[in-house]
């Protein structure tokens, strides 16, 4: 039990550190060891999870309901996406 609590505590600390590395308006997305769902973009605002398991993937994703703009690479509301 102590080992599990230590792992959870260390994981939470690691996630907090990763959150600090993401710019405002984004959050740290991590798969752990699971399927990856791509970041929502202007072209695909509702992406489906990819097939296969990926471990230790981490990226800064836009906070919902914003999506990644293809030109500016900034997080924008869907209404601001190119048509």
What pTM, to 2 d.p., does this model score?
0.72
pLDDT value of residue 20: 57
Q: Are 29 and 59 in contact (CB under 8 A)?
A: yes
Choice between 16 and 44, residue whose per-residue pLDDT is larger: 44
Spatial separation of the C-alpha atoms in residues 1 and 68, rounded to whole Å: 41
pLDDT, tens digit, for every residue of 26-44? 999 999 999 999 999 999 9
When pLDDT is averaged across residues 55-78 and rounded to a whole number, the result is: 97
Return the domain boundaries, the chain: 2-80
pLDDT at residue 16 tops 80: no
pLDDT value of residue 51: 94
């Amino acid at each position: 039990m102590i080992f599990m609590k230590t792992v959870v505590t260390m994981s939470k600390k690691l996630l907090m550190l990763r959150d600090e590395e993401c710019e405002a308006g984004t959050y740290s997305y991590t798969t752990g060891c699971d399927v990856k769902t791509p970041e929502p973009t202007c072209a695909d605002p509702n992406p489906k999870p990819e097939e296969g398991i990926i471990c230790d993937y981490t990226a800064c994703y836009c906070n919902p309901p914003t999506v990644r703009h293809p030109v500016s690479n900034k997080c924008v509301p869907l209404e601001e996406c190119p048509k």
